[in-house]
């Protein structure tokens, strides 16, 4: 959702005339780093952390350049939407440690030049499933889910009401 909102801020005209493909690209970009890093680190153990390869600014530059070049001719907004979504994911992961002054935890942004921070991450599919099965959800988590659901509902209304499948 952060990627969707950021795209609307970058492209204010999208508030009233949005390209659905660009919005979907922003949503895809906002999930892309986790879709690459988490399985490769947690399930397959080939990356040092769930925040390493695709969470690097170097990967951001390469992937966004490729996506933008691929969509440049017909749907330039798709490339922009993906890049905005991807960047907002990295900002979202970095803002907590930055505000806490834990700058060592920001090593993932320059991986592999700097080491990826060590997290208490499950290793292997069984460990991932076990961690999910034993998770506890407190009031703070449930409040976050409620806020996310409300914002998600507003964005869904926007997507249905103000967005179109036609290229702009």
**What's the pLDDT band for 121 if we cut at 50, 70, 90?**
low
What span, in angstroms and rounded, lies between the C-alpha atoms of 83 and 30?
9
Q: Is the peptide bond prior to 112 cis by the omega test (within 30 degrees of 0)?
A: yes
pLDDT above 90: residue 151: no
Spatial CA neighbour of 84 closest among 2, 12, 7: 7
What does the mean pLDDT of the chain come to? 88
Domains of the chain, by residue range, sit at: 2-164
DSSP lists the bridge partners of residue 138 as none
pLDDT in tens, 124-144: 777 777 877 877 888 888 888
What span, in angstroms and rounded, lies between the C-alpha atoms of 8 and 62?
24
What span, in angstroms and rounded, lies between the C-alpha atoms of 49 and 39?
10
What span, in angstroms and rounded, lies between the C-alpha atoms of 153 and 168?
25
Report the share of the chain in percent with pLDDT over 90: 47
């Amino acid at each position: 959702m952060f990627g969707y909102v950021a795209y609307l801020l970058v492209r204010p005209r999208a508030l009233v005339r949005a390209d659905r493909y660009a919005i979907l690209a922003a949503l895809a970009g906002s999930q892309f780093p986790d879709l690459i890093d988490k399985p490769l680190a947690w399930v397959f153990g080939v990356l040092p952390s769930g925040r390493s390869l695709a969470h690097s600014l170097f990967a951001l530059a390469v992937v966004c350049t490729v996506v933008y070049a691929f969509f440049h001719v017909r749907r330039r907004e798709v490339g922009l939407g993906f890049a905005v979504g991807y960047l907002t994911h990295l900002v979202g992961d970095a803002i907590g440690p930055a505000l806490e002054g834990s700058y060592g935890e920001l090593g993932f942004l320059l991986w592999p030049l700097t080491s990826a921070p060590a997290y208490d991450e499950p290793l292997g599919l069984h460990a991932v499933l076990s961690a999910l099965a034993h998770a506890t959800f407190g009031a703070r988590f449930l409040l976050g889910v409620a806020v996310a659901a409300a914002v998600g509902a507003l964005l869904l209304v926007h997507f249905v009401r103000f967005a179109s499948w036609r290229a702009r």
